[in-house]
Structure 1
Amino acid sequence: MYRQLKQELIDYSKEIGIDKIGFAAADPFLELKQKLVQQQELGYASGFEEKDIEKRVNPALLIDQPRSIIAIALAYPSKLEGAPTGKKGERRGLFCRASWGEDYHAILRKKLALMEEFLQKKLSDVQCKSMVDTGELSDRAVAERAGIGWSAKNCAIITPEFGSYVYLGEMLTNVPFEPDTPMESQCGSCRKCIDACPTSALVQGGQLNSQRCIAYLTQTKDFLPEQFRKHLGNRLYGCDTCQTVCPENKGKHVLIHDEMTPDPEQVKPLLEPLLSISNKEFKERFGSMSGSWRGKKPIQRNAIIALAHFKEESSLPALMHVLFEDPRPVMRGTAAYAIGKIGGMEAEHALKRALIHEKESDVLAEIEKAIQTFHSVL
């Protein structure tokens, strides 16, 4: 009966637009537990994860008598058609591919909810618990066990069909589905992702120091540590470097789901207008994207750093307005950094004026460093 139900569920998953589906046993993830403990001990965790490691590795703590886990994957596009070109005076930032289109959390949750309804119609005593990204279980560990793809050196799941350009989700259930066979890693001796990581966040194949990862750093709300600012480039949210250099991703591009179609002006926006965008405007323009989940503050801070990266002189008035008028110390301090990087007599005068009026110690430190940077450039 369960073998037939499995096939029916596979068929149904295709009907509702799920690109890959796999089944795994609900046994504890013992090997993962060792890795998670090590990550915490080394200080490599991001802090966004479920804090309780036992919940992350033991499905029995999430529902009564779990018997299997259903993993799903939806492919997302890797190319931006009609991308606007940034130029002097009109510099642009970039949201990573995983933030293009509608928030993937909502898309996958809808698919999983339909699957839950399907099982509930078939079985009267079925239990289900679905998760996408923010749940207790590790999406990648489940997907690997379920044969969706292999766990790669860049800490992503790579599928033969779509590369690593897939969103992952899973459903824990008490239905004893027969598990599928995991895939063997096909990374071999390749280490392109490790070598290309801008901040050396990939400590080794399959191990990530999240505290150094640009994808994580773009989501923080405090001052970005100075050692990482030069590596940010024009990234506003996320980082795709370890994906774009992967040979398994070469030529992988699909646009299967209309809701994942990227809006070029949304995912590659002009930088300077972001500095003065209101909360309402931000939600209206970017609220449907997964990259908006932390609010406008990290995006604005990153936009300021991107303007520093471009040394965009035309943005000095806007940056000075932030330096003198923005109520948030992180914005004022980061603006001081950018003004120092851009340089010029006008920038020097602005920084010296700010040094007189500023009260926050962290901002004062940024202003002083910016003035020193300015003089070192001269």
Structure 2
Amino acid sequence: MDVEALKEEIIQYSRTIGIDKIGFAHADPFFELKERLRQQQQLGYESGFEEPDIEKRTTPSLLLPEARSIIAIALAYPSKLKNAPRSTKTERRGIFCRASWGQDYHVVLRDRLQKLEQFILERVPDAKVKSMVDTGELSDRAVAERAGIGWSGKNCSIITPEFGSYVYLGEMITNIPFPPDAPIEDQCGTCTRCIDACPTGALVQGGQLNAKRCIAFLTQTKTFIPDEFRDKIGNRLYGCDTCQLVCPKNKGKDFHFHPEMEPDPEVVKPLLKPILHMTNRQFKETFGHLSGAWRGKKPIQRNAIIALAHYKDESAIDDLLILLQKDSRPVIRGTAAWALGKIGNRKVVPMLQQAKEKEQDEDVIREIDNALAMLENV
């Protein structure tokens, strides 16, 4: 088998199926990454969404015993929202991060990887392949970096020369010994804009993230968001783009190559108040196709409440009172109480006091007390 020729065939074919960049790497263990991951675990910096087994995350042969190479792919996604609706004083809107615009990227990348697998198996029927996207064991960024897709930026994203960091990543382990591509030299230099701009100081230093402080992580949790972070959430419903938006390598980068990635402005910048009362079915019909819907409606509704508090939206008071009085979920009741305190209209004091008398959840009672304390100073 002429692996050089096969590699070139794969590269050419990848362009015909909507893969924007492809690279090849050897499948040796990621020793340097292993040490970094151990340190992250010891420091308590992991999000908890990762594969817990560090060996699996850094040893391709544990996932495919015959592993010889890894093929990395990247697809560029849009960074600018066309015809974005405006947020008004009584019709406030939230925002989903750019990586959650359009169809769930897991679906899009799996489609490309399946086509790539089929192409390879038609040429090498006894080839072994194993593909993964994001939720797989391997680190997408470590693979992409080794395969020359881009360098690992100080914002912990892969930055490509062509598309900046606005790329989705996926990979395929195979037993075919493809010649590896050369990694790209780090081009961040002395720039620290992402570290300086991070709203919560989650970027501890260049290339090191405390995920538990990261807004992108916090918006995906299902519990109460700690007090210190609530004012930092702003109107974000899912994810955070700050460290990408300030990156000089992303200036002017906006690509609309893939129709399925095109966002519906009303969906990715939605009105906040209607989200508060959505049924599960309505939520699924509206947001179910987005990657940002993977944790269900509760985190999005909680974040919508925080966004209304951010805007001090008095037109949402009645909606928030309904949640405080009637919602079955403590996180929603408690966050609604906090939001009423932040909005700062003293007319809600009697309703907060009544809710406290009936409330049995200690966390919610604490949030009501916090709200009443905020309103004392109004």
Normalised-by-shorter TM-score class:
over 0.9
Deviations 1:277-309 (A, max 9, x none): 000000011000000000000000000000000
Q: Which residue does 2:183 correspond to in 1?
A: 182
Q: Which residue of 1 is the match for residue 127 of structure 2?
A: 126
Match of 1:220 in 2: 221
- Which residue is 1:339 aligned to? 340
Please state if 1:231 is matched with 2:232: yes
Deviation track 1:61-99 (CA, whole Å, cap 9, x = no partner) reads: 001220000000000000000000101110000000000
Structure 1-normalised TM-score? Answer: 0.99
User: Residue 278 of structure 2 aligns with which residue?
Assistant: 277
Instruction: Kindly provide the CA deviation profile for residues 119-141 of structure 1, in whole angstroms up to 9, marking residues without a partner as x.
Output: 11111211111010000000000
The alpha-carbon deviation at position 347 of structure 1 amounts to: 1.6
- For residues 152 and 251 of structure 1, what CA distance do their matches in structure 2 show? 18
CA distance in 1, matches of 2:30, 2:113: 22
1:180-225 Cα offsets, whole Å, 9 max, x none, are 0001100000000000000000000000000000000000000000
Map of 1:246 onto structure 2: 247
Secondary structure at the aligned position of 1:236 is classed as strand
* Matched-pair contact (CA < 8 Å) for 2:346–2:375: no
Provide the residue aligned with 1:292 in structure 2. 293
Paired residue type of 2:339:
A
Q: Which moved more, 1:71-80 or 1:367-376?
A: 367-376
Which residue number in structure 1 is paired with residue 208 of structure 2? 207
Query: C-alpha distance in 1, partners of 2:121/2:297?
Result: 40
Q: How many residues align?
A: 377
What is the distance in 1 between the residues matched to 2:103 and 2:215? 22
The correspondence of residues 148-167 of structure 1 with structure 2, limited to 5 A, is 148-167=149-168
1:106 aligns with 2:120: no
Deviation string 1:317-359 (CA, Å, 9 cap, x unpaired) is 0000000000000000000000011122322122111111111
Partners of 1:323 and 1:24 lie apart in 2 by: 54
Unmatched runs of 5 consecutive residues or more in structure 1:
none
Partner Cα distance (2:363, 2:34) in 1: 38
1:43-122 to 2 correspondences below 5 Å: 43-122=44-123
Describe how 1:33-44 pairs up with structure 2 within 5 A.
33-44=34-45
CA offsets, 1:160-196, max 9 Å, x none?
1100000000000000000000011000000000000
Alpha-carbon separation, structure 1, partners of 2:350 and 2:173:
61
| Residue 8 (structure 2) pairs with residue 7 (structure 1) | yes
Q: Which amino acid aligns with 1:95?
A: F
Cα contact 2:338–2:368 (8 A) shared by 1: yes
1:316 counterpart letter in structure 2:
I
- The one-letter code matched in structure 2 to 1:108 is L
| TM-score, scaled relative to structure 2 | 0.99
Identity across the alignment (%): 65
Q: Distance in 2 between matches of 1:292 and 1:124?
A: 38
Q: Give the RMSD, CA atoms, in angstroms.
A: 0.5
Hey, what does 1:140 align to over in structure 2? 141
Q: Distance in 1 between matches of 2:340 and 2:168?
A: 38
Equivalent residue, structure 2, for 1:319: 320
| DSSP-derived class of the 1:187 partner | coil
Instruction: Tell me by how many angstroms 1:313 deviates.
Output: 0.4
Corresponding residue for 2:20? 19
Distance 1:343 1:357 in 2: 22
Q: Which runs of 4+ in 1 moved over 4 A?
A: none
Cα deviations by residue, 1:252-285 (Å, 9 ceiling, x for unpaired)? 0110000000100000000001000000000011
Question: Partners of 2:69 and 2:22 in 1: how far apart?
Answer: 13
- Decide whether the 8 Å contact of 2:66 with 2:128 is kept in 1: no
CA contact (8 A) 2:219 2:239 kept: yes
Q: Which amino acid is the alignment partner of residue 137 of structure 1?
A: L
**Distance (Å, rounded) in 2 between the aligned partners of 1:121 and 1:345:** 70
Query: Quick one: which amino acid aligns to residue 342 of structure 2?
Result: K
Cα deviation, 1:10-50, whole Å, max 9, x if unaligned, reads 00000101000000000000000000000000000000000
Question: d(CA) in 2 for partners of 1:81 and 1:67?
Answer: 43
Separation (CA, whole Å) in 2 of partners of 1:88 and 1:229? 21
Counterpart code for 2:169: L
C-alpha distance in 2 between matches for 1:203 and 1:129: 34
Q: Distance in 2 between matches of 1:321 and 1:191?
A: 44
**Which letter does structure 1 place at the counterpart of 2:3?**
Y
